[in-house]
Amino acid sequence: MTAPVGDDELVAAARAGRTAAFDQLARRHFARVHALLFRLVGNHEDAEDLAQECFVKAHRSLGWYRSDCSFATWLYRIAVHLSRDHYRKRSRRGPIASIEDAQLAPPARGGGPRQRAQELEFQGVLRDALDALPHRLRTALVLRTLEGLEYDAIAEVLDIRPGTARVHVMKARRHLARLLRGWTEEDAR
């Protein structure tokens, strides 16, 4: 039984021209990059396109990859830059999201049609609130809350200091709480 090959070994093989090595890297990391992009752009089709573009850029830029950060962090950095560019283009056109795209969490089991309708409505409100966040705050929040990254890793992805990453997450949470205040007060009644 052979030991699993690490990312650095696969990067070295890909740099040497072995396309199978980069294919293995792409298979290993595609799902997480896609999930991150979906959480940042809120649309499956756009996330799929951006994830593919991320790996094309990564393949073309392998010569610039430095192993002082993990390959996954480097991919996240590329994905975040792509999502920022996408966000800028989308903000000029206005938000494009369907009810299906707005769903961030699976529906709760049980409950009737009324509860399901309220859940869908809240998902839409939550997506709108996330869309209202500045990209840097939303990205930091997604990386921390949904991807589970530590502040040091978030700082590496966003090319900022860990303290700044912590502040971005805190500001994003406050902003969301303010935008969702009506929903939380309504639920408390």
Query: Per residue in 114-145, pLDDT tens?
Result: 888 888 888 888 888 888 899 999 999 999 99
The answer as to whether 66 is a domain residue is yes
CATH number at residue 175: 1.10.10.10
CATH number at residue 5: 1.10.1740.10
- Residue 97: the pLDDT is 42
Q: Is the pLDDT of residue 101 over 70?
A: no
Query: Which residue spans within 36-107 are E strands per DSSP?
Result: none
How many structural domains compose the chain?
A: 2
Rg (CA), the chain: 19
Instruction: Give the range of the structural domain holding residue 123, as residue numbers without chain letter.
Output: 112-189
Q: Is the same domain home to 131 and 87?
A: no
Residue where a domain stops, chosen among 96, 123, 156: 96
Which residues 6+ apart lie within 8 Å of 124 measured at CB?
Answer: 99, 102
